[in-house]
A and B are shown apart, each in its own frame.
Chain A
Amino acid sequence: MNLSLLDPFAVAKEYPESLTQSLAYGHSLVIQFSHKGDYLALGLADGSIVIYDLVCNGGIITHLYRNGHLRPITSLSWSRCGRYLLSTSQDWTIKLWDLSMVNQGDDIDPVIRTVTFDGPVWSAVLHPKNPFLFVASLFEDSAAVVDMTDDIKISRLSAHPKGQEDSKDKHLTLTSVFTPDEEGSYIFAGTSKGWINIFDLSTLNKVHSVKVANANIKNVVISPNGRKLAVNASDRIIRQINLSDFINTAPEEWEFEVEHKYQDVVNRLQWNTVAFNHNGDFLCASTFGQLSQDLYVWETSLGSLIKILEGSSEELVDLKWNYPRCIIGSTGLDSGTIYLWLVPFPQKWSALAPDFVEIEENIEYEEKEDEFDIIDDDLLNKKRLQEEDLQVDVLLKELVDARGFTIQEAFVIPVDYRRKYGA
């Protein structure tokens, strides 16, 4: 509700512009914003997870380390409802945390599922609807879809392109994501040979394969509205692909035409991580190497670079976009500090004195005809009472906020009121 009282030009900004905050708590490797944008989870190099409350730039709500990971965290994924958090680590395990059980005392263990593999885990993503289903990409191993609803059921996804299942080439899945539709109908998996394999979640069959690059695919990102795909490969190019309507057309008919290629032709930079904004109109990427310490933001319809986010003094690795709050967060490689870019709102001094207005330039004041007329009190009262006759609805709530996001009820992590400060 505050947004509707703030400067509309600032509210309408579609990407953040200024580095306003850095969070330093241990050495963070990966970050993830909750879907409502109210929490930020950090995965630390010591295997623990820290959750910040972003409302009012609040403090650390919880630090998850008991029964946690023993080696650095490699990825984090929130459930849509905000209650569950999935973490993957180099210690070969994936853990699902029930955040309603944190801060309740030492005898309650918030880790409700642990899945152990035969090697380190690159990353894992929770299904959009079912917080007990995820897809994981594994080091030197084929990707896995894991259903943890009752017992743990692991299904493997082969990395060979469709129709080449018998080839002798070694294909490895390096990254995998669900499509962002309600059902998470398909899985997009990027391989070490530049292929994208698409699996139907209901049957786990490979329905389509397409070669997009001649190098490792490091990230596959689908915009939250499902329209655009960005593929970050180690050949220093980010390819932006328009996606077909994957709900209403058959997988065989899908086309993968590269719409734009983003590369830095001068410095020949590799890209660490890419992320879309909520409607896929903007794409942001962090750059590899000590030369550059910036984030690049492109406009995706024309493919032009529109902003370089500067201010950090180290190479940036992980990169996430907080849609409802319009924040870009990124982790520093050397110090593990989190940098947050956001839209600053100007202070309006006229808000303090309602009879003052801020004007750009002097205006000639024209006195209204009746401005200094003396009006009888009774008349005034009558007029006021008439004005008060209008219908008022004190119950109906707004469904979307000023930025156009649906206002959703989200899970609130319990607060440990007994915690001693400074400890």
Chain B
Amino acid sequence: MNPTSETNGSTVVDSRLYSVRYVVQNPSESINTVKISPDGKTMATCSSNGVIRVYELASGTLKQELRGHAKGVSDVDFSPINSDILVSGSDDLTVRLWSISRGKCLKVLRKHTYHVTTVKFISRGSILLSGSADETITVWDLTSGKTLRTLSAHSDPILSVALTPDDTIIVSGSYDGLMRLFDLETGYCLKTLVYNSASQGTATASTSDVVNFPISYVNLSPNGKYILSSSLDGAIRLWDYMDNKVIKTYLGVGDEPNISTKFTCETCFITCTKTPLIASGSESSGLLFWDVQTKKIVCQLKLSEGAVLGVTSYDDGKVVVCSDSNGTVTVLDINDVE
């Protein structure tokens, strides 16, 4: 469990950026994601056996187990305006809204016809987005329980959705290799981004001879101007979406340049350090941290043998929590920032 130091070519990879506060284990489960509540008091995990667990972030004490989903839960999200409210999306086709303090499911939202892969609140907490393997994104109005809109512009399962900080653009990542930007208000597609190795990384033709690797995770930079996409060709890319251009490519450590080719490994931005960092889980290299600007790996934490799937940060990255496919959840504290 101890973080180990490794070398990446000539650069020495520092593993002392973060230290482990505690580890929670639920062996024989794959913890797909972990989220921290907006008040920083609790964290929620969801696993492939359908159970959602809510822990106290400070101590790791189990606070609540939310049961109700019949199949694995792929994603959870806290309401940004109410730390007691959690939403989950599951392979049983439902999206559920939970009250943590009551340990109860408040609402079951049914519309998707296949596995729900991702759920996301808008920052006002009144509207919910859910992406599904049925190739659609549904926009739910939680004040009326109605679906406001169904966005069906992808031709393969949707793996991830993200929102700009001003809640106006939905970014979706799909197995068809496309990222689409939708206007939340009108539901119109504003732009499509596709990475194509034969065209200098700009968005152009996607003809039959070009294979677009699935986009497994999308995330927005803190200022909302750039999109960070994780692709199953093993790279993470930072996009300037106004310009349709990849401006940075991040790769794995030395002999294992592919970050992930099978799993959705989440990413997050760390902004409390001297220069901003990107953190991402990986298939076999543990938790990786890159400098946004130099694209170099500044820290690698190999905490377990499993693939690190969920990564989330709190308080600009002073606390980072990650979860892996072997059922381990690790809470990390940043060491003194010089």
A363 within 8 A of B: no
For the residues of A in contact with B, the DSSP-based class is: loop
Contact assessment for A394 and B143 in the assembled complex, using a CB-CB cutoff below 8 Å: no
Q: Which of B6-14, B66-74, B243-251, B322-330 sits within the interface?
A: B243-251
The answer to whether residues A412 and B194 also contact, given A58-B143, A354-B203 and a CB cut-off of 8 A, is no
B54 to chain A, nearest CB (A): 16
**Residues 377-406 of chain A: 1 if any B CB is under 8 Å from the residue's CB, otherwise 0?**
000100110011011111111100000000
Contact of A353 among B146, B167, B192, B269 (CB under 8 A): B192
Find A394's partner among B85, B225, B295 (CB 8 Å cutoff): B225
Partner of B205, one of A355, A395, A407: A355
Taken together as a complex, chains A and B put the C-alpha atoms of A4 and B169 apart, in Å, by 11
B192, closest chain A residue (CB): A354
Cβ A347 vs Cβ B188 within 8 A: yes
Which of B15-23, B42-50, B119-127 is the interface stretch? B119-127
Q: Kindly list chain B residues whose C-beta atoms are within 8 Å of the C-beta of A57.
A: 148, 185
Task: Tell me the minimal C-beta distance from B110 to chain A in angstroms.
Answer: 13
Of B24-32, B216-224, B302-310, the one with at least 4 CB within 8 A of chain A: B216-224
Contacts of B106 in A (CB 8 A): 417-418
Complexed CA–CA distance, A6 and B183 (Å): 9
Residue with the highest number of chain B CB atoms closer than 10 Å, among A57, A348, A392, A419:
A392
Q: Name the interface residues of B198-232: CB closer than 8 Å to any CB of A.
A: 200-201, 203-206, 221-226
- Cβ distance A283 to chain B, nearest Cβ, rounded Å: 27
Interface presence of B337 (CB below 8 A)? no
> Given A388-B248, A415-B143, A418-B106, A55–B82 Cβ distance below 8 Å?
no
The smallest beta-carbon distance between B221 and chain A, in angstroms, is: 4
Interfacial residues of chain A within 51-102, with CB under 8 A of chain B in the complex: 53, 55-61
CA A1 to CA B127, docked complex, whole Å: 18
A414/B188 in contact, CB under 8 A = no
Q: How far is the CA of A386 from the CA of B104 in the complex (A)?
A: 54
Could you tell me the distance in whole angstroms from the C-beta of A415 to the nearest C-beta in chain B? 5
Q: Kindly list chain A residues whose C-beta atoms are within 8 Å of the C-beta of B168.
A: 1-3
Q: Is the CB of B183 within 8 A of A2?
A: yes
CB closest residue in chain B, given A385 = B249
B127 touches A5 (CB 8 A): no
Interface digits, B90-128 against A, CB 8 Å rule (1 contact, 0 not)? 000000010100000011000000000000001111110
Contact B124 A55 (CB under 8 A): yes
User: Per a CB cutoff under 8 Å, which of A354, A395, A421 touches B204?
Assistant: A354
**A238, chain B: closest CB distance, angstroms:** 33
From the candidates B145, B165, B189, B200, name the one contacting A380 in the complex (CB within 8 A): B200
Picked from A60, A383, A390, the residue with its CB within 8 Å of the CB of B144 is: A60
Partner of B221, one of A2, A355, A394: A394
User: Least Cβ distance of B228 to chain A in Å?
Assistant: 9
Contact: B191 with A58, CB < 8 Å?
Answer: no
* Binding site secondary structure of chain B: loop
- Contact partner of B185 (CB less than 8 A), chosen from A2, A384, A394, is A2
Is A351 an interface position by the 8 A CB rule?
yes
With beta carbons under 8 angstroms apart, the residue of A6, A347, A384 that contacts B200 is A384
Residue B276 at the chain A interface, CB threshold 8 Å: yes
State which of A4, A55, A354, A391 has its C-beta within 8 Å of the C-beta of B194.
A354
Pairwise interchain contact A415-B191, C-beta atoms closer than 8 A: no
B311 contacts A by Cβ under 8 Å: no
Within 8 A of A (CB), among B287-338: 292-293, 295
- Chain B, 123-154, contact with A by CB distance < 8 Å: what is the 0/1 string? 11111000000000001011111101100010
Say how far B52's CB is from chain A's closest CB, in angstroms: 16
The answer, yes or no, to whether B186 is at the interface (CB within 8 Å) is yes
Q: Once the chains are docked, how many angstroms separate the CA of A392 from the CA of B290?
A: 14
Question: Quick check: is A247 within 8 A (CB to CB) of the other chain?
Answer: no
Question: A53 CA to B293 CA in the complex, in Å?
Answer: 39
Q: Are A355 and B206 in contact (CB under 8 A)?
A: yes
Of all chain B residues, which has the CB nearest A344? Answer: B186
Give CA–CA (A57, B147) in the complex, Å. 12
A266 within 8 A of B: no
27 contacts between A and B (CB under 8 A): A1-B164, A2-B164, A2-B168, A2-B184, A5-B190, A6-B183, A55-B126, A345-B183, A347-B188, A348-B190, A352-B153, A355-B204, A355-B206, A383-B200, A384-B201, A384-B249, A388-B248, A392-B238, A392-B248, A392-B292, A394-B292, A398-B225, A412-B123, A415-B82, A418-B106, A419-B143, A421-B146
User: What are the nearest 5 A-B pairs in CB distance?
Assistant: A421-B145, A394-B221, A59-B144, A2-B168, A354-B203
Known: A59-B126, A407-B166. 8 other contacts (CB 8 A): A2-B184, A5-B242, A55-B122, A58-B144, A355-B205, A388-B295, A415-B125, A417-B142
Query: A residues touching B (Cβ–Cβ < 8 Å)?
Result: 1-6, 38, 53, 55-61, 345, 347-348, 351-355, 380, 383-384, 387-388, 390-398, 407, 412, 414-419, 421-422
